[in-house]
């Protein structure tokens, strides 16, 4: 399976529709550049303003930078002792005196044998994945591994860094950042990839986005109580309630023996904050 936009869309198709607020994206700031079906960001959009390092106050960036020097990181995945990355990096041969905004950037892939070690450049990508499914397709292309192997053994290091002030973990297998846990991933009996960041069949997309919002908040005890109550079936249906329980199992290790929640709707139990925008972002917000 190719992560090329041209291959996925076909030669005769028009421009791809863009991701919606209910599309699970890895980088929310690039949602509007992400294809709805492919989950990919075109090269020109990925490279747009690649030089920009963010607002700086008194010599310090407003947020801890996820960049590696002058390079923009799109994903960092640890898998079988290797770290795979997709990057936007300055093209070689430019003067070291070139102003940052005048640097020309290109896409690159790299792999290394450690979290903070130099590695080897691989064949550059033609597009960047920005959904969990697109990321697995990318790793299939790069590593040649089967889907099951990727789901069982891959860890998203970039998501860890987003949550911990851009710092690297002290292990290549940080707890909570496996593809199974973080992306709510599994492989069905026919070998097909499944991620519960995509809306289960028959469930209202807005309701499912709302559920994922609470799950990513790590407020799991009341969520487990809701999952075993009659309200879960009443609001999400049989299939939706089963998907809620499966998501909790993947993320939190099971339901455990808990009394069901009292007769309260999901919104009564987990209200939205005033003016909170309901969007589907993978793995929660930065800490």
pLDDT at 284 over 70: no
Query: Do residues 158 and 230 both lie within one domain?
Result: no
What's the chain's length in residues?
A: 287
Query: Do residues 79 and 209 both lie within one domain?
Result: no
pLDDT at 62 over 50: no
> Does residue 86 lie within any of the structural domains?
yes
Alpha carbon separation from 18 to 30, 42, 101, 130 (Å, rounded): 10, 11, 27, 12
Contacts of 277 (CB under 8 A, 6+ apart): 21
The tokens for 210 are 């709302």
In whole angstroms, what is the distance from residue 73 CA to residue 158 CA?
8
Query: Do residues 205 and 160 both lie within one domain?
Result: no
> Does residue 24 lie within any of the structural domains?
yes
Query: Do residues 75 and 116 both lie within one domain?
Result: yes
Query: Which 8-state DSSP code applies to residue 14?
Result: -
Q: Parallel, antiparallel, or unpaired for β 60-61 and 105-112?
A: unpaired
Query: Structural domain tally of the chain?
Result: 2
Calculate the average pLDDT of the chain.
88
- Print the domain residue range for 78: 5-168
> Does residue 66 lie within any of the structural domains?
yes
CB 27 within 8 A of CB 158: no
Return the CA Rg of the chain: 20
In whole angstroms, what is the distance from residue 251 CA to residue 99 CA?
45
Share of the chain above pLDDT 90, in %: 66
Alpha carbon separation from 154 to 130, 135, 147 (Å, rounded): 16, 11, 10
CB 188 within 8 A of CB 271: no
> Does residue 279 lie within any of the structural domains?
no
Query: Do residues 112 and 205 both lie within one domain?
Result: no
Which pLDDT band, with edges at 50, 70 and 90, does 143 fall under? Answer: very high
Query: Do residues 127 and 255 both lie within one domain?
Result: no
Query: Do residues 20 and 160 both lie within one domain?
Result: yes
> Does residue 225 lie within any of the structural domains?
yes
Mean pLDDT, residues 137-149: 97
Query: Do residues 74 and 116 both lie within one domain?
Result: yes
Question: Can you give the pLDDT at residue 286?
Answer: 46
> Does residue 58 lie within any of the structural domains?
yes
> Does residue 277 lie within any of the structural domains?
no
The tokens for 15 are 């421009």
> Does residue 75 lie within any of the structural domains?
yes
Q: pTM surpassing 0.75?
A: yes
């Amino acid at each position: 399976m190719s992560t090329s936009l041209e291959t996925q869309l076909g030669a005769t198709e028009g421009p791809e529709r863009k991701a919606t607020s209910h599309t699970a994206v890895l980088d929310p700031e690039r949602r509007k550049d992400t294809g709805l079906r492919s989950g990919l960001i075109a090269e020109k959009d990925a490279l747009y303003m690649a030089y920009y390092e963010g607002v700086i106050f008194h010599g310090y960036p407003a947020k801890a930078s996820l960049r590696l020097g002058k390079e923009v990181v799109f994903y960092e995945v640890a898998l079988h002792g290797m770290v795979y990355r997709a990057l936007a990096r300055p093209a070689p041969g430019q003067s070291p005196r070139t102003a940052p905004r005048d640097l020309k950037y290109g896409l690159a892939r790299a792999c290394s044998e450690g979290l903070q070690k130099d590695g080897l450049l691989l064949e550059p990508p033609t597009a960047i994945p920005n959904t969990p499914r697109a990321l697995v397709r990318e790793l299939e292309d790069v590593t040649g591994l089967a889907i099951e192997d990727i789901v069982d053994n891959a860890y998203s290091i970039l998501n860890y860094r987003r949550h911990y002030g851009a710092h690297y973990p002290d292990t290549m297998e940080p707890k909570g950042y496996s593809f199974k846990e973080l992306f709510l991933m599994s492989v069905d009996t026919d070998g097909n990839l499944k991620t519960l960041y995509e809306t289960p069949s028959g469930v209202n997309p807005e309701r499912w986005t709302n559920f994922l919002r609470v799950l990513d908040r790590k407020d799991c005890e009341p969520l487990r109580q809701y999952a075993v109550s009659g309200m879960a079936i009443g609001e999400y249906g049989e299939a939706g309630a089963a998907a809620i329980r499966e998501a909790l199992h993947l993320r939190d290790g099971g339901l455990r023996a808990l009394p069901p929640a009292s007769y309260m709707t999901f919104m009564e139990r987990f209200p939205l904050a005033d003016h909170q925008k309901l969007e589907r972002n993978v793995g929660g917000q930065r800490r």
